[in-house]
């Protein structure tokens, strides 16, 4: 067995470990990076490097340490580390010149933003009046507005007496593979069970709502193939406006862990209405 094969087996054998990186969720066991509207499956060494940075987030991880832990100090090309760092930045949508998540520390290595500061650029503030300074002030104002909105939502939740009613539609199996029909049914049951646990929500299924006044919110979802892998695509539809108020995607299998986190985000959106 080659060293890479042993490393892969060890990584698969480890319990699932997830890390939050700003608006991203990274599963270091599967190498999947999930955002609100994007899913990236990282190459094996790229995923292991991001996991290493996550475990040491806020601290500088040196070039030699990456070579030692990811390649086992085997002879590799001079730009091997730079390639995986570039791939990580590409997946995160980060800019090496004005990084939000991953900073290059000259002649020392790389640093993944600490959870306390990964929502703001890692570069030093520029002079007042510069374009970058204006952008930073605008971003700060936007963050304050979001915080104020969250406080208002929390206040609304505190005095609301009637729960938000939402209808769970059966997951449509659109993969073309009938063997995935049980998976679609299981995802329907998971959505119903997970949202029913939220005290501020009243969940009904499509069959129970037939012949009665339809709830304002419908959860419509499909099981599709995304890059050849079964993927659960979820939409929250506001029946009053006919608009989609929230979307999410979960790549599987397995679905359960990532699906629960995505359903928790959906529940938060519903409670805020």
Q: Could you tell me how far CA 173 lies from the centroid of its own chain?
A: 23
* Cβ contact 119:22 at 8 Å: yes
Nearest to 64 by CA among 52, 55, 98: 52
Q: How many whole angstroms separate alpha carbon 49 and alpha carbon 26?
A: 12
Mean pLDDT over each residue of the chain, to the nearest integer: 78
* Banded pLDDT at 164 (limits 50, 70, 90): confident
Interior CA angle at 57 toward 51 and 58, to 5°? 165
Least reliable range by pLDDT among 62-71, 90-99, 151-160, 182-191: 151-160
Q: How many whole angstroms separate alpha carbon 122 and alpha carbon 135?
A: 14
Q: How many whole angstroms separate alpha carbon 5 and alpha carbon 7?
A: 5
- pLDDT of 269 reads 85
Q: Residue 23: pLDDT above 50?
A: yes
| pLDDT > 70 fraction of the chain, expressed in percent and rounded | 73
Q: Residue 22: pLDDT above 60?
A: yes
- pLDDT of 50 reads 94
- pLDDT of 63 reads 92
Structure tokens belonging to residue 56:
């040491």
* Banded pLDDT at 29 (limits 50, 70, 90): confident
Q: How many whole angstroms separate alpha carbon 137 and alpha carbon 120?
A: 11
Pairing of strands 217-226, 172-173: parallel
- DSSP element (H, E) containing 164: strand 164-168
Q: How many whole angstroms separate alpha carbon 171 and alpha carbon 188?
A: 6
Digit-coded pLDDT (tens) for 232-259: 999 999 888 888 888 888 887 777 788 8
Digit-coded pLDDT (tens) for 69-122: 998 877 778 788 999 999 999 999 998 888 889 999 998 999 998 865 544 444
Taking the CB of residue 57, how many other CB atoms lie within 10 A of it? 18
């Amino acid at each position: 067995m080659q060293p890479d094969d042993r490393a892969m087996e060890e990584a698969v054998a480890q319990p699932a470990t997830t890390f939050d990186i700003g608006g991203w969720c990274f599963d270091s066991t599967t190498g999947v990076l999930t955002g609100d509207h994007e899913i990236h499956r990282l190459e094996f060494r790229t995923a292991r490097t991001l996991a290493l940075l996550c475990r040491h987030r806020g601290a500088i991880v040196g070039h030699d340490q990456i070579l030692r832990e990811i390649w086992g100090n085997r002879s590799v090309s001079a730009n091997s580390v730079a390639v995986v760092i570039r791939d990580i930045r590409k997946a995160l949508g980060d800019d090496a010149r004005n990084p939000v998540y991953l900073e290059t520390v000259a002649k020392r290595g790389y640093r993944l933003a600490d959870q306390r500061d990964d929502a703001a650029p890692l570069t030093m503030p520029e002079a007042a009046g510069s374009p970058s300074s204006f952008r930073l002030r605008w971003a700060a104002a936007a963050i304050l507005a979001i915080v104020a909105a969250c406080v208002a939502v929390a206040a609304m939740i505190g005095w609301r007496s009637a729960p938000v009613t939402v209808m769970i539609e059966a997951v449509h199996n659109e993969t073309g593979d009938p063997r995935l029909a049980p998976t679609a049914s299981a995802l329907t049951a998971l959505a119903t069970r997970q949202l029913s646990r939220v005290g501020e929500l009243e969940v009904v299924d499509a069959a129970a709502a037939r012949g009665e006044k339809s709830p304002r919110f419908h959860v419509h979802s499909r099981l599709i193939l995304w890059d050849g892998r079964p993927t659960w695509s979820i939409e929250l539809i506001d029946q009053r406006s006919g608009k989609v108020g929230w979307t999410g995607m979960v790549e599987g299998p397995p679905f359960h862990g990532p699906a629960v986190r995505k359903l928790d985000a959906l529940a938060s959106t519903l409670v805020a209405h």
